[in-house]
Chains A and B, each alone.
Chain A
Amino acid sequence: MSAPAAAPLDAASRTRIRAGWGAMHALWVTALIIFALLWLLAEPIAGWAFEYPKAAQIPLQRWIGNAMRWLTEDASFGLFTFTDLTRFIAAIIDVPYRIALGALSTGLLSGQGSDAVQLLPPLSWVALIAIVGLMGLYAGGWRLAALVAACFGFIVLFGQWTNAMVTLASILIAVPLGVVGGLLIGIAGYRWRWLEKAIIPILDLMQTIPVFAYLVPILILFSFGPTAAVIATIIYALPPMTRVTMLALKGVASEVLDLGHMVGCTRRQMTWRVMVPSAMPGLMVGVNQVIMLSLNMVIIASMIGAGGLGFEVLAALRRLDIGTGIEAGLAIVALAIALDRLSQAFAARGLAPKHAEAELTSLLARYPYVAAALGIVIVSGIAGLAIGAVQTYPATLELSTGSASEELMYWINVTFFDQIEAFKNALLLNILIPFKRFLLGLPWLGMVGLLALAGWTLGGARLAALVGVLAFLIAATGQWEKAMVTVYLCGISVVVAGALGFLIGIVTADRERLWKVVRVIIDTLQTLPSFVYLMPAVMLFRVGDFTAMIAVVAYAIAPAIRYTVHGLREVDPHLIEAGTALGSTKRQILTKIRIKLALPEIMLGINQTIMLALSMLVITALVGTRDLGQEVYIALTKADVGRGLVAGLSVAFIAIISDRLISAGAARVRARLGLQR
């Protein structure tokens, strides 16, 4: 004891804390020494610790493959087979999809295929822009109307209208189904505790497993086409709605529940007349999430036949046609912005009703917007028959930046080729490749042990068991090597994104105007579909790990910035005042007070960055990485369910391991700082 203790009790507890720290340090030092010995010396005698023995592998891949075959070939419910069931579901979803597609894109058709005769034309671009404009006006006033109309105007102006309508049709089907499905599962989870306990791990898995992985089974069960794409979109967008529903229902004030009981509600009345309406603000957040995630899925869903804008982006990416790709990508963004703002405005409006409207009685007076929209549809429909340009936007008036952006890329490539190559090679040779070799050389056994120890230090035995088992499963299913490549790419990208994000966060946190600009930029970055990031990266750096890293960093940097700024700004102003009163310089306040207190928040930002990086990594498989993402992608092209799911699960496990460890760490830091959440 070097410091004099103020009181005996203090001294005792201090010793105890030190002893605790000391023991922990000793444990870690020992563990690291054992690990180092294992790594450096054991390869000749214990090769199995480095490469998981094939004989002991869990043949999960085969099991899944067999189960899938059984499902599609033999499974039967007596009266009908499993395949009948999936085809039935597909047929049911197909009906509203055809109607939506008819209204927006193909028109009302009679007959099949190319013999079909158009009975009624689809909504013209004029009519649809007017309708969304009216919706904006109704829900949010002139500014929203202008924004929404501009978004759709952008789409028509850049010649993406037809594609956009196909995409919109599938979104219009996927979103309500996703919302209702998520709501029902959430309500069931709220009502039955055991169900909730069963659902939550599944939701965790669903939100971390790469989408590609479950595209394969969907493809097999529902076959290629827009319906399968709608189903994939629903599965992707449904988990957050379920989660939000359970949270929102739990958040309903206990007095409101008491009220429901006191007026004698039955269970059904309780759910639908009391709980759901009271939880509406929370539920609307979920609806918005479903919309955004559905739009996120647009490109990936086109891999199994969604068509529309997603297909356009994908095809452009394959041709490396950057202009078209970016235009179609921006059209998705325009759609996303319009639907996001509209849904938020409708939510805000629905949640804050005004009495004035409840008093009107005449039908026309009560629904002036609906009446106006109907009028526009009829008038423009008739006008469209007479004037073609009203029905279909004339191609001669379309704009394209395609050649311009291509020329820009070309120019950059020609002018800066040497510099870009030198930069890329320097990074590759000095950092990327050595790091990759290092990770690949590590023994899986030691890594599993260290991860479990980290789990134990941060969160006790349960976390240690979870982390250890998941890490072991990655090795035992034969995915270790590819997983290490994923970890390497993800790790490097996260370090770069985290460091850049942290710096940008520190610089912008105190500069209100700068932050406003940065916020707009990162908001936009987050709405851009992930594929869009790939194209410029590929154009500049060609395929390979470096390109993947650049794309991942660009995609995953937003949360690092956002959480750093939030953390720094939310530090209790009294503490900063106290620091100033003690005579600290601005720099001291930043390093000694604000960053320390913002640490838990920053850690959560890094956590988010890791999650985004992992989801982006899978997509970078398209530019030739050699990691789990590639494995999933290959499985998709070969329609190999087992291979795709096993690799996908490994990605999910990596995500869950890092998420749990970082969350536990953040919780510890927060507890030590005495911050509450």
Chain B
Amino acid sequence: MIVAPTKLVCRSVWKLFGSGAEGYLSAHAEPSDDDLKQAGLVGAVRNVGLNVHEGEIFVIMGLSGSGKSTLVRCMSRLIEPTAGEILFNGENLLKANAKRMIEIRRHQMGMVFQHFALLPHLTALGNVAFPLEIQGIDRARREARAAEMIELVGLAGREAFFPRELSGGQQQRVGIARSLAVEPELWFLDEPFSALDPLIRREMQDEFVRLQSVLKKTIVFITHDIDEAIRLADRIAIMKDGAVVQIGTPEEIVMAPANDYVAEFTRNVVKAKVIRVASVMTELPGRPPNGGPDGRWGGDIAAAATIAETAPLFSDTVDTLRVLDDDGAPVGALRRADVVDVMMRS
């Protein structure tokens, strides 16, 4: 598998709150929790290093107070990190001056907020056009672009509505449209669906997956909801007390939790919905086993499918499926007994 080029790199990023934080950090290389407490400092982000690849959905997941929101604000420099490097397309953002930062934020970054952060005095159209207005783009052009974005998020017809006339889900659609209006390379979503009702949240997640399949942005997505993380992520970073505990694909996180904390998180995750066929399949036998009637394969399944998706394909007469890779070449076999085994795991 080819790894896409890296879009964003965090190198030993720290954010300490309290007076004299910077001096303290340059004097003490890697302070522990207790060291910080003694110095009267709070370590909101502690020594975080991670890479976000182009075109992937990178989810940062943690409970409230774990530092995930602070970290994402360090990435966009809304909060000034105490130490470390943030490389965006290879450029260290912490070295960029105010003008350059404005430039980068105007053209290359977009952000969606938990509580939408819509401006109450502007219509949906005005809100979506706002980033373009700030750039000084003329009215006709920015409104045309905004209308396009509103169409994209499925709000056509509501352009002239004011935020308080829209439901929560609709407001966040406006927020999403606004963050996409400048065609950002890097898209931050800070708990975008946390303030929504469960049903709407589900719907918005589907919408998000649909959008990403069209847009293929590089995404940093913050959430406190492990199910949401697993549903959406290409890779997940789990944070605790300001530090990253584990980074991996959803499957890796669920199958091989790095410690008890992560294990506790993933305990209630339905494994069959995370584990993919590729991890369970056996070697491709030379000839079709008595998988189905007439000694043929019971059916084909993609290696990237989850186990849960395969379950309906088995029956009394079908107990082996052929596994195909992305290009449609057979790479292995999936046996019913193994699937049952995964399904039984809690």
**Which A residues fall within an 8 A CB radius of B?**
253, 255-256, 258-259, 261-266, 269, 273-274, 277-278, 280, 351-356, 358-359
Contact = CB atoms under 8 A, between A and B. Distances in A.
Given A262-B76, A262-B78, A253 B130 contact: no
Contacts of B268: none
B135 interface: yes
B106 interface: yes
Given A258-B111, A353-B121, A263 B131 contact: yes
B108 to A, nearest CB: 10
B304 interface: no
A258 B119 contact: no
Contacts of A264: 102-107, 131, 134-135
Contacts of A263: 105-106, 130-131, 134, 182
A355 B111 CA distance: 26
Contacts, number: 75
Given A277-B119, A277-B120, A277-B121, A355 B161 contact: yes
A8 to B, nearest CB: 29
A261 B105 contact: yes
B65 to A, nearest CB: 16
Interface string B170-193: 000000000100100000100000
The 7 closest A-B CB pairs, nearest first, are A264-B106, A263-B131, A255-B117, A264-B105, A355-B160, A259-B117, A262-B111
Interface residues of B, number: 35
A354 B162 CA distance: 7
A352 B109 CA distance: 31
B76 A278 contact: no
Contacts of A277: 119-122
A351 B73 CA distance: 30
A261 B117 CA distance: 12
Contacts of B122: 277
Contact of A354 (B76, B107, B109, B165): B165
Interface string B73-108: 100101000000000000000000000001111110
A262 B184 CA distance: 11
B117 A266 contact: no
A351 B164 CA distance: 10
A264 B77 CA distance: 12
Contacts of B76: 261-262
Interface in B275-311: none
Contacts of A269: 134
Contact of A262 (B110, B121, B164): B110
A259 B111 contact: yes
Which of A262, A264, A352 has most chain B Cβ within 10 Å? Answer: A262
B113 interface: yes
A287 to B, nearest CB: 15
A332 B114 CA distance: 48
27 contacts: A255-B113, A256-B119, A258-B73, A258-B111, A259-B111, A259-B113, A261-B76, A262-B105, A262-B110, A262-B111, A263-B106, A263-B130, A263-B131, A264-B104, A264-B106, A264-B107, A265-B102, A266-B102, A273-B130, A273-B133, A353-B162, A355-B123, A355-B161, A355-B162, A355-B165, A358-B123, A358-B160
**Main SS class of interface, A:** helix
A255 B114 CA distance: 8
Contacts of B121: 277-278, 280, 353
Interface in B101-152: 102-107, 109-111, 113-117, 119-123, 130-131, 133-135
Nearest to B133: A273
A207 to B, nearest CB: 30
A358 B164 CA distance: 15
A255 B115 CA distance: 7
* Interface hub of A256, A259, A269 (most chain B Cβ within 10 A): A259
A360 to B, nearest CB: 10
B165 to A, nearest CB: 6
B90 to A, nearest CB: 21
Contact of B115 (A253, A274, A278, A356): A253
A258 B106 contact: no
A261 B165 CA distance: 26
A70 B188 CA distance: 61
Contacts of A258: 73, 78, 111, 113, 117
Nearest to A352: B164
B134 A265 contact: yes
Nearest to B165: A355
Contacts of A274: 119
Given A277-B121, A359-B160, A262 B109 contact: yes
Nearest to B124: A355
A535 to B, nearest CB: 46
Contacts of A354: 162, 165
A353 B102 CA distance: 31
B110 to A, nearest CB: 7
A567 B341 CA distance: 65
A255 B118 CA distance: 9
Nearest to B136: A269
Nearest to B126: A358
Nearest to B113: A255
Contacts of A256: 117, 119
Contacts of A358: 123, 160
A255 B182 CA distance: 19
Given A255-B113, A264-B131, 11 more contacts: A255-B114, A255-B115, A262-B76, A262-B78, A263-B106, A263-B130, A263-B131, A265-B102, A266-B102, A277-B121, A358-B160
A428 to B, nearest CB: 58
A575 B241 CA distance: 39
Nearest to B179: A262
A255 B131 CA distance: 15
Contacts of B134: 263-265, 269, 273
Contacts of A356: 160
A356 B110 CA distance: 30
A166 B7 CA distance: 67
A254 B198 CA distance: 25
Contacts of A351: 120
Listed residue (B73, B78, B107, B133) with the most chain A CB atoms within 10 angstroms of its CB: B78
A278 B113 contact: no
Contact of B117 (A253, A273, A353): A253
Contacts of B162: 353-355
B238 to A, nearest CB: 24
B281 to A, nearest CB: 44
Contacts of A280: 120-121
A112 B165 CA distance: 56
B119 A278 contact: yes
A273 B131 CA distance: 11
Contacts of A353: 121, 162
Contacts of B103: 264
B100 to A, nearest CB: 11
Nearest to A280: B121
Contacts of B78: 258, 261-262
Nearest to B182: A263
A135 B133 CA distance: 32
Nearest to A269: B134
A163 to B, nearest CB: 38
Contacts of B188: 262
A269 B130 CA distance: 11
Contacts of B123: 355, 358
A475 B105 CA distance: 60
A358 B143 CA distance: 14
